[in-house]
A and B are shown apart, each in its own frame.
Chain A
Amino acid sequence: MPAFKFVKIGEDIYMCIAAPAQVIEIQDQMAVVDFGGVRQQVKLDLVEDVEEGRYVLVHSGYAIEVMSDEAAKESLEAWDELLKVLDEEDEYQKTN
Chain B
Amino acid sequence: MKNLSKEIVERIEEISRPVKIMHVCGSHEHTIMQHGIRTLLPEEVEVVAGPGCPVCCVPAREIDECLQLAEKGVTITTFGDMLRVPGSESTLAEAKADGADVRIVYGVANAVEIAQKLDNEVMFMSAGFETTAPTTASELLAGPPENFSILSCHRLIPPALQFLIESGDVNLNALIEPGHVATIIGTRPFETFSEKYGIPQVVAGFNPLDILMAVYMILRQIKDGKAEVQNEYTRAVRDEGNIKAQKAMEEVFYITSREWRGFPKIPDSVYEVRDEFSEFDARKKFDIEVKDVKEAPTGCICGAILRGVARPEECKLFKKECTPMNPIGACMVSKEGTCNIAYRYSTL
Which residues on A are within 8 Å of B, measured CB to CB?
1, 3-5, 9-18, 43, 45-48, 57, 59-62, 64-65, 67-68, 71-72, 74, 76, 78-80, 82-83, 86, 93
Judge whether B97 is part of the interface by a CB distance below 8 angstroms.
no
A71 in complex: contacting residue of B5, B11, B217, B235, CB < 8 Å: B235
Contact check, A5 vs B27: say whether CB atoms are below 8 A apart. yes
Q: A15-B79, A16-B181, A83-B8 are in contact. Are A67 and B235 (CB under 8 A)?
A: yes
11 A-B residue pairs with Cβ-Cβ distance under 8 Å, sorted by A, are A1-B207, A1-B208, A10-B106, A14-B30, A15-B54, A16-B129, A18-B236, A46-B244, A62-B135, A79-B4, A83-B8
Contact check, B135 vs A5: say whether CB atoms are below 8 A apart. no
Contact check, A15 vs B142: say whether CB atoms are below 8 A apart. no
A15 in complex: contacting residue of B55, B109, B110, B224, CB < 8 Å: B55
Q: How far is the CA of A9 from the CA of B107 in the complex (A)?
A: 9
CB neighbors of A among B1-56 (8 A): 1, 4-5, 7-8, 11, 25-27, 30-31, 52-55
B148 CB → nearest A CB, Å = 16
Q: How far is the CA of A4 from the CA of B207 in the complex (A)?
A: 6
**Which of chain B's residues have a CB closer than 8 A to the CB of A59?**
131-132, 135, 180
A76 CB → nearest B CB, Å = 6
Judge whether B95 is part of the interface by a CB distance below 8 angstroms.
no
A60 in complex: contacting residue of B132, B235, B242, CB < 8 Å: B132
Size of interface on B: residues with Cβ below 8 Å to A = 57
CB neighbors of A among B75-132 (8 A): 79-81, 104, 106-110, 127-129, 131-132
**Which of chain B's residues have a CB closer than 8 A to the CB of A60?**
106-108, 128, 131-132, 135
A57 in complex: contacting residue of B79, B109, B183, CB < 8 Å: B183
Contact check, B81 vs A13: say whether CB atoms are below 8 A apart. yes
Contact check, B184 vs A64: say whether CB atoms are below 8 A apart. yes
Shortest 6 CB-CB distances between A and B: which pairs?
A: A11-B80, A71-B235, A60-B107, A61-B107, A16-B27, A46-B245
Contact check, A64 vs B106: say whether CB atoms are below 8 A apart. no
User: Quick one: closest B residue to A73, CB to CB?
Assistant: B235
Contact check, B81 vs A15: say whether CB atoms are below 8 A apart. yes
Contact check, B183 vs A15: say whether CB atoms are below 8 A apart. no
Judge whether B213 is part of the interface by a CB distance below 8 angstroms.
yes
Contact check, A18 vs B209: say whether CB atoms are below 8 A apart. no
A84 CB → nearest B CB, Å = 12
Q: How far is the CA of A74 from the CA of B207 in the complex (A)?
A: 9
Judge whether B327 is part of the interface by a CB distance below 8 angstroms.
no
Q: How far is the CA of A79 from the CA of B1 in the complex (A)?
A: 12
A40 CB → nearest B CB, Å = 10
A28 CB → nearest B CB, Å = 12
**Which of chain B's residues have a CB closer than 8 A to the CB of A45?**
138, 141-142, 248
Q: How far is the CA of A74 from the CA of B209 in the complex (A)?
A: 11
**Which of chain B's residues have a CB closer than 8 A to the CB of A64?**
131, 134-135, 180, 183-184, 242, 245
Judge whether B220 is part of the interface by a CB distance below 8 angstroms.
yes
**Which of chain B's residues have a CB closer than 8 A to the CB of A79?**
4, 8, 209, 213
Contact check, A12 vs B335: say whether CB atoms are below 8 A apart. yes
B154 CB → nearest A CB, Å = 11
User: Quick one: closest B residue to A3, CB to CB?
Assistant: B207
B106 in complex: contacting residue of A13, A17, A18, A46, CB < 8 Å: A13
B14 CB → nearest A CB, Å = 12
Q: How far is the CA of A71 from the CA of B55 in the complex (A)?
A: 29
Contact check, A62 vs B206: say whether CB atoms are below 8 A apart. no
Judge whether B178 is part of the interface by a CB distance below 8 angstroms.
yes
Judge whether B232 is part of the interface by a CB distance below 8 angstroms.
yes
Q: How far is the CA of A76 from the CA of B132 in the complex (A)?
A: 28
A1 CB → nearest B CB, Å = 6
Contact check, B235 vs A74: say whether CB atoms are below 8 A apart. yes
**Which of chain B's residues have a CB closer than 8 A to the CB of A68?**
235
User: Quick one: closest B residue to A2, CB to CB?
Assistant: B207
B336 in complex: contacting residue of A16, A18, A67, A93, CB < 8 Å: A16
